């Protein structure tokens, strides 16, 4: 499976996790100029700069290991880190997202009066992969892409929009614009027999020569795709299409879970934008053996913060995406009991992470959920459902299968068959 995307997005990460669950091998090509990519991903820039497999071996560069002129030093004041020549600052060192690792994301070199004149970017393998030269308006006029040996391989003349590929044999190649560069690279990387999955319909213009039988388009929703079905074999929808009217020619990936891989943990999650979560306090007090993870994108009201002293409650105000993903992966229960709008399709994400939905008929955020036996008319009934599951954790798998059947969630065998057919498309 060969995936082509314009950039790294939440939708792409979502698709990759789903393919991982299916055990479906894939490669990703990003049609921009990113240089900090993992081993299964390539871009317009890395196509030229990471031809050597050894270029993807290594770890992020520790800030104190930067190569600097003699007598210069790396200084740090907590998060703020910079290069010092003994008299004044010469550059800022910007650390990667994991600040505690103290590794380098980029170095901003100063010209006059600490105005940034150039920026060096470092990738996850610990070497400088890009340099941007800035004009007086702090805008890049030349972007230089380097290989691991620090040879200048690809030059982007930003104002003109042109690209120059410099080869070791001296046969340099000039590209008039990004589209010409993109077409030239895709012509070389497109597989002869693999299925090609596009994350953006505009990319169809670059794969016209491929047979329809090998093409699929993956989108968040199935909206505004009239006429596209005639150009691809499959349209794959990532979001909650299964909770709406089914459309011929569209396959929903949303809600897929590999039931056989799931194990019950007495951990419950609720993602809310409101402090009004029906029955939550009762559940917390009646089920001390269950840990309740309460998350929100913002600050929390007193009805939630008052639960903080309870030993089986964990609060996550202003939750990060990293923590949210961890909770989705570790919890086995999701409480769809909060008033107000649903946050980030959280119940759908819970479904595909093997969580049993518990909730009330009056609070669930999708009409289809009301068919589930774990969605009840009262808090007392919900407590009884949870109590039965806690006492008989072996029933978890049966409830998961029932949830998949009632909501008509995607089945592993059906999805594998779709990808098998795409891989077998005639070239």
- DSSP assignment of 277-302 equals BTTHHHHHHH-TTSEEEEE-SS---H
Whether 241 and 271 map to the same domain: the answer is no
**pLDDT of amino acid 427:** 43
Residue 203 within a domain:
yes
Residue 382 within a domain:
yes
Of the candidates 328, 323, 332, 319, the residue with the CA atom closest to the CA atom of residue 346 = 328
Q: Which two tokens stand for residue 427?
A: 């070239």
Rounded Cα–Cα distance for residues 144 and 374 (Å):
57
Rounded Cα–Cα distance for residues 404 and 371 (Å):
12
Whether 21 and 93 map to the same domain: the answer is no
Whether 212 and 312 map to the same domain: the answer is no
Residue 266 within a domain:
yes
Residue 152 within a domain:
yes
Backbone angles phi, psi at 114, to 5 degrees: 60, 25
Inter-CA distances, 343 with 278, 300, 306, 324, 379, Å: 16, 14, 22, 12, 22
Q: For residue 251, give the 3-state DSSP assignment.
A: strand
**pLDDT of amino acid 168:** 77
Whether 135 and 68 map to the same domain: the answer is yes
Q: Which two tokens stand for residue 220?
A: 């968040």
Whether 311 and 281 map to the same domain: the answer is yes
Of the candidates 105, 118, 109, the residue with the CA atom closest to the CA atom of residue 85 = 109
- For the entire predicted model, the pTM comes to 0.81
Domain end residue (candidates: 176, 208, 235): 176
- Compute how many other C-beta atoms are within 10 angstroms of the C-beta atom of residue 93: 23
Whether 272 and 392 map to the same domain: the answer is yes
Domain end residue (candidates: 143, 176, 209): 176
Query: Could you tell me if 113 and 119 are in contact, meaning their C-beta atoms sit under 8 angstroms apart?
Result: no
Q: Which residues of the chain have pLDDT under 50?
A: 242, 426-427
**Residue 276: CATH number of its domain:** 3.40.50.2000
Q: For residue 143, give the 3-state DSSP assignment.
A: strand
Q: Which two tokens stand for residue 116?
A: 């940034």
Q: Which two tokens stand for residue 139?
A: 């805008």
Rounded Cα–Cα distance for residues 143 and 162 (Å):
11
Residue 43 within a domain:
no
**pLDDT of amino acid 426:** 46
How many domains is the chain partitioned into structurally? 3
**pLDDT of amino acid 399:** 93
Whether 26 and 68 map to the same domain: the answer is no
Residues 6 or more apart whose Cβ sits within 8 Å of residue 85: 69, 71, 72
Whether 225 and 341 map to the same domain: the answer is no
**pLDDT of amino acid 11:** 87
Residue 218 within a domain:
yes
Whether 168 and 243 map to the same domain: the answer is no
**pLDDT of amino acid 183:** 94
Residue 244's domain comprises 2-30+190-252
Name 136's bridge partners. none
Q: What does the pLDDT look like over 91-138, one tens digit per residue?
A: 999 999 888 889 999 999 999 888 999 999 999 999 999 999 999 889
Whether 230 and 276 map to the same domain: the answer is no
Residue 35 within a domain:
no
Whether 318 and 374 map to the same domain: the answer is yes
Whether 227 and 307 map to the same domain: the answer is no
**pLDDT of amino acid 76:** 84
Alpha helices in 69-153 (DSSP H): none
Residue 49 within a domain:
no
């Amino acid at each position: 499976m060969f995936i082509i995307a314009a950039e790294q997005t939440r939708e792409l990460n979502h698709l990759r996790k789903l393919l991982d669950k299916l055990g479906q091998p894939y490669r990703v090509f990003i049609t921009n100029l990113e240089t900090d990519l993992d081993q299964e991903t390539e871009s317009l820039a890395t196509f030229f700069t990471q031809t050597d497999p050894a270029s993807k071996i290594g770890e992020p560069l520790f800030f104190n290991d930067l190569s600097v002129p003699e007598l210069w030093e790396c200084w740090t004041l907590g998060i703020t880190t910079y290069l010092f020549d003994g008299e004044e600052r010469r550059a800022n060192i910007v650390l990667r997202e994991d600040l505690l690792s103290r590794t380098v994301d980029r170095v901003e070199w100063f010209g006059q009066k600490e105005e940034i004149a150039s920026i060096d970017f470092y990738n996850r393998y610990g070497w400088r992969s890009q340099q941007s030269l800035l004009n007086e308006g702090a805008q890049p006029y030349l972007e230089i892409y380097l290989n691991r040996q620090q040879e200048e391989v690809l030059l982007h003349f930003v104002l003109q929009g042109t690209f120059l590929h410099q080869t070791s044999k001296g046969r340099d190649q000039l590209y008039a614009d990004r589209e010409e560069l993109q077409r030239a690279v895709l012509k070389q990387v497109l597989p002869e027999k693999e299925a090609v999955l596009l994350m953006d319909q505009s990319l169809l213009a670059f794969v016209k020569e491929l047979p329809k039988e090998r093409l699929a388009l993956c989108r968040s929703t199935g909206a505004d795709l009239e006429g596209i079905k005639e150009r691809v074999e499959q349209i794959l929808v990532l979001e909650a299409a299964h909770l709406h009217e089914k459309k011929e020619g569209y396959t929903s990936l949303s809600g897929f879970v590999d039931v056989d891989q799931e194990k019950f943990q007495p951990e419950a999650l609720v993602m809310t934008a409101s402090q009004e979560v029906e029955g939550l306090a009762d559940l917390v007090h009646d089920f001390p053996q269950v840990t309740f993870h309460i998350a929100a994108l913002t600050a929390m009201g007193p009805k939630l913060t008052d639960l903080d002293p309870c030993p089986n409650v964990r609060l996550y105000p202003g939750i990060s995406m990293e923590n949210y993903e961890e909770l989705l992966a570790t919890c086995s229960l999701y409480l769809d009991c909060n008033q107000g709008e649903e946050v980030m399709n959280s119940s759908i994400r819970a479904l595909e992470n093997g969580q049993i939905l518990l909730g009330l008929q009056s609070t669930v955020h999708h009409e289809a959920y009301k068919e589930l036996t774990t969605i009840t008319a009262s808090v007392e009934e919900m407590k009884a459902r949870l109590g039965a599951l806690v006492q008989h954790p072996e029933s978890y798998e049966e409830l998961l299968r029932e949830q998949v059947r009632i909501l008509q969630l995607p089945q592993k065998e059906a999805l594998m068959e779709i990808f098998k057919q795409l891989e077998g498309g005639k070239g």
